[in-house]
Amino acid sequence: MVGGLYRYVRNPMYVSIAAAVAGQGLLLGQPRLYVALGIGAIPVAAFVQLFEEPTLTRKFAAAYEEYCRNVPRWLPRLTPWRPERPGPSGV
């Protein structure tokens, strides 16, 4: 079951940290925060793509693949994803 912010974006915690750093850069007028954000994004993106997603794919198989097809990794959807559920008869 998918709930909360995970219906909009697959990595809401990473996205919120990036948004906070970008907001601080804007608010404080510190371009070096954008540089730090860019540098910090590299290992996070590598971790997500090389470890986290393959691990979740092995653990949850087709259900996670469907989730990945419908929910973007970094840029949130405008509307929440609602997976189709089978009816009471299982169909």
The pLDDT, as a whole number, for residue 90 is 47
Round to whole Å and give the CA distance between 77 and 91: 28
Residue 80 maps to a domain: no
How many structural domains does the chain have? Answer: 1
Closest CA to 75 of 1, 2, 12: 12
Match 């949850």 to its residue by tokens.
Answer: 60
The pLDDT, as a whole number, for residue 91 is 42
Domain that holds residue 33: 4-70
Q: How far is CA 87 from the centre of its chain?
A: 29
Q: pLDDT tens digits, residue range 40-91?
A: 999 999 999 999 999 999 999 999 999 999 999 999 999 999 988 754 544 4
Q: pLDDT tens digits, residue range 3-32?
A: 999 999 999 999 999 999 999 999 999 999
Q: How far is CA 12 from the centre of its chain?
A: 5
